[in-house]
Structure 1
Amino acid sequence: MHPAPSVILFTTLSGLGFGLLFFLGLGFPAVSGWVAFVFFAIAYGLAVGGLLASTFHLGHPERALKAFTQWKTSWLSREGWCAVLALVIMGLYAIGVVFLDQRWGFLGWIGAGLSLATVFTTSMIYTQLKTIPRWNMNLTPAMFLSFSLAGGALLAGQTSAALPLLLIAALVQILYWRKGDQAFASSGTDLGTATGLGARGSVRAFEPPHTGTNYLLREFVHVVGRKHAEKLRLISFVLAFVLPVLLLLLPFNHVFALLAVASHLAGVATSRWLFFAQAEHVVGLYYGKR
């Protein structure tokens, strides 16, 4: 898939933002007043900023509101509803914490649950696509959720929770890469099954469908060199998990904490680029790209 900057920003920032809202809803960190305002401002900035970034990938962003009418069948619509409800309920909870010094736990728990539900629905937009075997597996929502929780714990300053969550997210990432690399071959999809001619013998394309490029080639057929991908995976893994864990193991320091967050953010963004760039769409079979 073409790794559009808008969807990379969306999946990276919104995941961190809703992860932080999850911990704030549970009462971590236990702050109030203007300190709490700063935490909520960061969470809303990331979550809303990510959601707004996603609209830049739409051909007609003015029609985005119509997505809310398809909640029975569309994960995109469900994501929209979960996001709005999470932001509204957490906004009410924030009013109590910031301005009234009141912690309405019931609202916080509901908001925390809706925040995680938003991340889950985002992941299901990709997981449901059988035409992209690398996404169509259970490890996709596991990766989105583990990244969100690990990043949220980092932003919330919850070191005791961040360390095991980062290790879990790192394990999920490794498993996702290993299974994802075999997903296309394991799906059993080839030019023979795609054309329905496989029973007659080996099928190959006589000539390309056309000589020029088109929308399908631009959006759904993006090839990343193996060596290039391996380097980016190593960079992503070190930045997202190894460096933050090492920094958290040092005596607490605000500078180290900030570096851990910045490193994790950069690593997750790199991982998201690979998530889209390495997604092999079956339509590539018709162009000899798979």
Structure 2
Amino acid sequence: MHPAFSVVFFTTATGAGYGLLALLGVLGGAQIIPPDFWLGFIGMGLALGLIAAGLLSSTGHLGRPERAWRAFSQWRSSWLSREGVASVATFVPAGLFCIGWVFFDRTGGWVAIAGLLAAIGAIVTVCTTGMIYASLKPIAQWHSRYTLPAYLIFSAMTGSVLLNALLQGFALGSRMLLAASMLLTLLGWGWKLATWRYNDALEIATNANTATGLVGGTVRSLEWPHTEENYLLKEMGFRIARKHSARLRQITQVLAFALPVLLLAATLALPWPFAAVLSVLAAIAQLSGMLVERWLFFAEAKHTVSLYYGR
């Protein structure tokens, strides 16, 4: 599939934003995080900013972005529409939670309820995003048991690393959150390796022979269906060289997983503000690595329509 930057940025930014929103909603509502004005202002601003930027970026991949609102009407049958409805609905409790925290200096009572609802909405929205891809049967690399859990794991992983960087910046970091961030990063690393292993060994049953019903030999095309590059080839026939894929996988592992774990582990032995600096670097490295991982997620996926073009 064509790895359009708008969609790559969308899945990366909203995943991190919703992960951070869910953690702020739960931990803030439970009074684990103090209702400090600047902490709430920056934290909620970062979470909602990432979500909004990602959602706006996703419209850039549409042929007619001004008609994006029509997608909301198909929620009965479309995961894309359900994602849109869930994302907008989540802004309501998230906005109330932000108002209560920032303007009223409280995260208990009705503000805690709003935070919990925002966290639930964030999780539901991430699930709908994952199902957009997991439900596509023509793309075997996505239509597997690994896709939906990956979206949830990566959202929790990037959200926890961002939250740790935020709290470390206010000298409020905790060893428990640090440990959770490291464990989630290691879990994400293991899940990504398992996904790559599964996709590399994947045998797609459909081929030119089964499509035409001619099973007695090898079916070959005498002439290509088109003389020039068309929409299907551009969007669904993207190809990436094996050596480039291997190199990008290495970059993903270093930036998204290995380097953040090492930086987070180093913060355990360092005082503030050095711990804060390393925590911020870990968050930046991980988000950079996740952009590469998302690019590969699309670039390595193969749509069965490419068989029509002899690919």
Shorter-normalised TM range: over 0.9
State the AA in 1 paired with 2:305.
V
Please report how far the alpha carbon of residue 146 of structure 1 lies from its aligned counterpart in structure 2 after TM superposition: 0.6
- Aligned to 1:276, which of 278, 298, 302? 298
- 2:95 paired residue number: 91
User: What CA distance in whole angstroms lies between the structure 1 residues aligned with 2:226 and 2:200?
Assistant: 29
- 2:197 paired residue number: 178
Please report how far the alpha carbon of residue 101 of structure 1 lies from its aligned counterpart in structure 2 after TM superposition: 1.9
- 1:3 paired residue number: 3
Count of residues paired in the alignment: 286
- 2:230 paired residue number: 214
Normalising by structure 2, we get a TM-score of 0.89
User: What CA distance in whole angstroms lies between the structure 1 residues aligned with 2:43 and 2:113?
Assistant: 19
Cα offsets for 1:9-65 (capped at 9, x unmatched): 100111000010010111256132122110000001111100000000001111111
State the AA in 1 paired with 2:70.
K
Gaps of 5+ in 2: 165-176
- 2:73 paired residue number: 69
User: What CA distance in whole angstroms lies between the structure 2 residues aligned with 1:73 and 1:153?
Assistant: 33
Tell me whether 1:190 sits opposite 2:207 in the alignment: yes
SS in 2 for 1:102: coil
Please report how far the alpha carbon of residue 174 of structure 1 lies from its aligned counterpart in structure 2 after TM superposition: 0.6
Asked whether the 8 Å contact 1:151–1:264 carries over to 2, the reply is yes
Tell me whether 1:140 sits opposite 2:147 in the alignment: yes
User: What CA distance in whole angstroms lies between the structure 2 residues aligned with 1:194 and 1:11?
Assistant: 33
- 1:118 paired residue number: 125
Asked whether the 8 Å contact 1:75–1:125 carries over to 2, the reply is yes
State the AA in 1 paired with 2:27.
G
Alignment RMSD:
1.3
Asked whether the 8 Å contact 1:18–1:43 carries over to 2, the reply is yes
SS in 2 for 1:230: helix
User: What CA distance in whole angstroms lies between the structure 2 residues aligned with 1:117 and 1:268?
Assistant: 21
User: What CA distance in whole angstroms lies between the structure 1 residues aligned with 2:21 and 2:134?
Assistant: 24
Please report how far the alpha carbon of residue 202 of structure 1 lies from its aligned counterpart in structure 2 after TM superposition: 3.2
Tell me whether 1:162 sits opposite 2:165 in the alignment: no
- 1:56 paired residue number: 60
User: What CA distance in whole angstroms lies between the structure 2 residues aligned with 1:136 and 1:198?
Assistant: 27
Tell me whether 1:34 sits opposite 2:75 in the alignment: no
User: What CA distance in whole angstroms lies between the structure 2 residues aligned with 1:182 and 1:89?
Assistant: 43
Please report how far the alpha carbon of residue 259 of structure 1 lies from its aligned counterpart in structure 2 after TM superposition: 0.6
SS in 2 for 1:188: coil
Larger mean CA deviation between 139-148 and 250-259 belongs to 250-259
Asked whether the 8 Å contact 1:151–1:261 carries over to 2, the reply is yes
Please report how far the alpha carbon of residue 201 of structure 1 lies from its aligned counterpart in structure 2 after TM superposition: 4.1
Q: How does 1:249-260 map to 2 (within 5 A)?
A: 249-250=265-266, 251-252=269-270, 253-260=275-282
Normalising by structure 1, we get a TM-score of 0.95
Please report how far the alpha carbon of residue 213 of structure 1 lies from its aligned counterpart in structure 2 after TM superposition: 1.2
Please report how far the alpha carbon of residue 193 of structure 1 lies from its aligned counterpart in structure 2 after TM superposition: 2.1
Please report how far the alpha carbon of residue 2 of structure 1 lies from its aligned counterpart in structure 2 after TM superposition: 0.9
Please report how far the alpha carbon of residue 182 of structure 1 lies from its aligned counterpart in structure 2 after TM superposition: 2.8
- Aligned to 2:115, which of 105, 108, 115? 108
- Aligned to 2:158, which of 130, 147, 151? 151
SS in 1 for 2:183: helix
User: What CA distance in whole angstroms lies between the structure 1 residues aligned with 2:34 and 2:148?
Assistant: 31
State the AA in 2 paired with 1:189.
T
Please report how far the alpha carbon of residue 198 of structure 1 lies from its aligned counterpart in structure 2 after TM superposition: 3.5
Asked whether the 8 Å contact 1:134–1:181 carries over to 2, the reply is no
State the AA in 2 paired with 1:120.
C
